[in-house]
């Protein structure tokens, strides 16, 4: 039975006749099949969006797991045959529901084959296409909105689909937030009572100077000996997971950045007797922050509601996290005014299937490449990486493009190639510093700022 005219009539307030005439962002290979119960199911690019047995029950079960009492509006990614949207409107009949669909052929197929009148007649339904998606994504309030991204729909997007990386990034942040939201809130409440300085006091205080951002990637093992020679010439800013490796090699960083809300952060820093400046997000593990005996510097992150509310009343700035501790550290170094930033251990890939440097708290061996993707390394070879690492790389590339006043270098020879941060051998950087005078003022600047603001 065809429902084209009936559906268009029911959804005339949605201007569906105009919507379906738009061109698709990417046309998917979509196939309708009859499920075991007789209802249509959908296969996209070789992936089933719904169950082959009972697609309607499958969609309802998933949507039930997404309902939250405090949510005021929903964003549903992927219309498919409308089963998820029908289940959502049945459970939330009055709340605004925004449906994102970029494949107009798929939408036309659903309108033709599925009776969607109960859904399309609702005044609280709105369709969003790829043409205005970014406008909505960047304006939604994460304290009252709910993003629903069915995993099957995300998996079905082709690798070159323009929305795939954006949605993967959103999905990853969503999962992290949902998993640790309560712990993050508890950490926040403790940490705003135990910091010495807010990060704002360091903005542009290091103008014209050079910095090293140390991550715990495998290449750190090859280059750690050179880091010691950069001391007092470059500001050494390390992520927490690399701190133990540095100290064991006699490298004392000028500051350390941590962001992890979990207790693993406490274990990461315990027993090190390091008393330098610790920069942390308010959502970082409060137990680890409390145990630190040195200067405690808090940096409030954009995108976290409690941080945004806190800084609003105090006229403080927000930092961009980019999704990882290293990307957060990069944003901080840029704000501090450094005009050259060198990446150490920023592999963003897994040469020889190794994820982190030997001796780091995060070291692990990847045993399967089933969910890995391939990227070009600085040595010209192809290396495996994870989706999240690839997203961090693209965030870094975007940040580099936005900051042409900063010179970037990358020392990870077998790490992923970062556009805008050309590979430079660590020994060549050492050669460049031979004529540089030692700059002992890094710690002096921090001490001076501390005395003025404590």
pLDDT in tens, 71-99: 888 989 889 999 999 999 999 999 999 99
26, pLDDT greater than 70 = no
In terms of residue numbers, what domain contains 259? 189-453
- Domain presence at residue 164: no
83 and 208 assigned to the same domain: no
414 and 303 assigned to the same domain: yes
Last residue of a domain, one of 131, 156, 181: 156
412, pLDDT greater than 80 = yes
Question: What average pLDDT does this structure show over 259-278?
Answer: 91
Number of domains in the chain: 2
The pLDDT value given to residue 21: 78
Q: What mean pLDDT value characterizes the chain? A: 86
25, pLDDT greater than 90 = no
Percent of the chain past pLDDT 90, that is, above it, reads 54
Q: For the segment 109-145, what is each residue's pLDDT rounded down to a tens digit?
A: 999 999 999 999 999 998 887 666 656 655 555 567 7
- Domain presence at residue 184: no
Q: Between residues 444 and 247, which one has the greater pLDDT?
A: 247
245 and 365 assigned to the same domain: yes
Confidence of residue 16 (pLDDT cuts 50, 70, 90): confident
The pLDDT value given to residue 192: 96
228 and 318 assigned to the same domain: yes
291 and 418 assigned to the same domain: yes
420 and 306 assigned to the same domain: yes
- Domain presence at residue 314: yes
- Domain presence at residue 166: no
CATH assignment of the domain containing 117: 3.40.50
411 and 331 assigned to the same domain: yes
Q: For the segment 324-346, what is each residue's pLDDT rounded down to a tens digit?
A: 999 999 999 999 999 999 999 99
105 and 209 assigned to the same domain: no
- Domain presence at residue 74: yes
- Domain presence at residue 44: yes
Question: What average pLDDT does this structure show over 261-276?
Answer: 90
297, pLDDT greater than 90 = yes
The pLDDT value given to residue 367: 44
430 and 369 assigned to the same domain: yes
Percent of the chain past pLDDT 70, that is, above it, reads 83
Question: What average pLDDT does this structure show over 158-167?
Answer: 68
The pLDDT value given to residue 155: 80
Question: What average pLDDT does this structure show over 374-389?
Answer: 89
Q: For the segment 31-76, what is each residue's pLDDT rounded down to a tens digit?
A: 889 999 999 999 988 889 899 999 999 999 999 999 988 788 898 9
Question: What average pLDDT does this structure show over 174-192?
Answer: 85
Confidence of residue 149 (pLDDT cuts 50, 70, 90): confident
- Domain presence at residue 167: no
Query: What is the SS3 string spanning the chain?
Result: CCCHHHHHHHCHHHCHHHHCCCCCCCCCCEEEEECCCCCEEEEECCEECCCCCCHHHHHHHHHHCCCCCCCCEEEEECCCCCHHHHHHHHHCCCCCEEEECCCHHHHHHHHHHCCCHHHHCCCCEEEECCCCHHHHHCCCCCCCEEEECCHHHHHHCCCCCCCHHHHHHHHHHHHHHHHHHHHHHHHHHHHCCCCCEEHHHHCCCCCCCEEEEECCCCCHHHHHHHHHHHECCEEEEEEHHHHHHHHHCCCCCCEEEECCCCCHHHHHHCCCCCCCCEEECCCCCHHHHHHCCCCEEECCECCCHHHHHHHHCCCCCCECCCCCHHHHHHHHHHHHCCCEEEEECCCCCCHHHECCCCCCCCCCECCCCCCCEEEEECCCCEEEECHHHHHHHHHHHHHHHHCCCCEEEECCCCCECECCECECCHHHHHHHCCCCCCCCHHHHHHHHHHHHHC
195 and 148 assigned to the same domain: no
430 and 383 assigned to the same domain: yes
198 and 144 assigned to the same domain: no
358, pLDDT greater than 80 = no
Q: Which of 149-158, 382-391, 392-401, 405-414 has the lowest mean pLDDT?
A: 149-158
The pLDDT value given to residue 1: 56
CATH assignment of the domain containing 333: 3.90.1480
- Domain presence at residue 422: yes
353, pLDDT greater than 80 = no
The pLDDT value given to residue 132: 65
């Amino acid at each position: 039975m065809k429902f084209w005219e009936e559906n268009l009539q029911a959804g005339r307030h949605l201007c569906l006749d105009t919507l379906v005439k738009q061109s698709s962002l990417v046309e998917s290979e979509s196939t309708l099949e009859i499920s075991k119960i007789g209802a249509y199911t959908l296969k996209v690019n070789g992936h089933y969006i719904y169950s082959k047995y009972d697609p309607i029950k499958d969609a309802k079960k998933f949507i039930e797991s997404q309902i939250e009492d405090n949510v005021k509006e929903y964003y549903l990614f992927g219309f498919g045959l409308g089963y998820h949207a029908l289940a959502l409107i049945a459970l939330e009949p009055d709340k605004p529901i925004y449906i994102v669909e970029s494949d107009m052929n798929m939408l036309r197929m659903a309108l033709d084959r599925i009776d969607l009148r109960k859904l399309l007649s609702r005044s609280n339904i709105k369709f969003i296409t790829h043409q205005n998606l970014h406008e909505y994504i960047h304006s939604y309030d994460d304290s009252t909105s709910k993003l629903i991204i069915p995993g099957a729909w995300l998996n079905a997007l082709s690798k070159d689909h323009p929305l795939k990386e954006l949605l993967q990034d959103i999905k990853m942040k969503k999962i992290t937030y949902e998993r640790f939201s309560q712990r993050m809130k508890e950490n926040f409440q403790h940490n705003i009572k135990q910091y010495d300085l807010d990060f704002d006091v360091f903005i542009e205080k290091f103008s014209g100077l050079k910095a090293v951002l140390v991550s715990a990637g495998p290449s750190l093992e090859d280059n750690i000996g050179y880091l010691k020679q950069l001391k007092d010439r470059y500001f050494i800013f390390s992520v927490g997971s690399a701190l133990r490796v540095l100290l064991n090699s006699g490298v004392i960083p000028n500051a350390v950045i941590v962001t992890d809300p979990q207790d693993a952060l406490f274990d990461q820093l315990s027993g090190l007797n390091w008393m330098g400046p610790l920069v942390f997000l308010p959502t970082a593990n409060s137990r680890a922050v409390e145990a630190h005996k040195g200067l405690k510097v808090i940096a409030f992150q954009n995108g976290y509601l409690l941080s945004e509310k806190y800084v609003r009343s105090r006229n403080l700035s927000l930092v961009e996290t980019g999704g990882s501790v290293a990307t957060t550290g990069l944003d901080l170094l840029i704000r501090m005014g450094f005009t050259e930033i060198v990446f150490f251990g920023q592999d963003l890939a897994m040469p020889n299937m190794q994820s982190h440097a030997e001796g780091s708290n995060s070291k692990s061996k990847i045993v399967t490449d089933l969910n890995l993707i391939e990227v070009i390394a600085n040595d010209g070879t192809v290396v495996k990486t994870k989706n999240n690492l690839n997203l961090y790389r693209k965030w870094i590339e975007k940040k580099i493009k936005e900051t042409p006043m900063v010179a970037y270098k990358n020392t990870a020879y077998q790490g992923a190639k970062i556009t805008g941060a050309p590979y430079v051998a660590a020994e060549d950087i050492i050669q460049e510093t031979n004529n540089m005078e030692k700059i002992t003022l890094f710690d002096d600047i921090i001490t001076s700022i501390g005395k003025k603001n404590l």
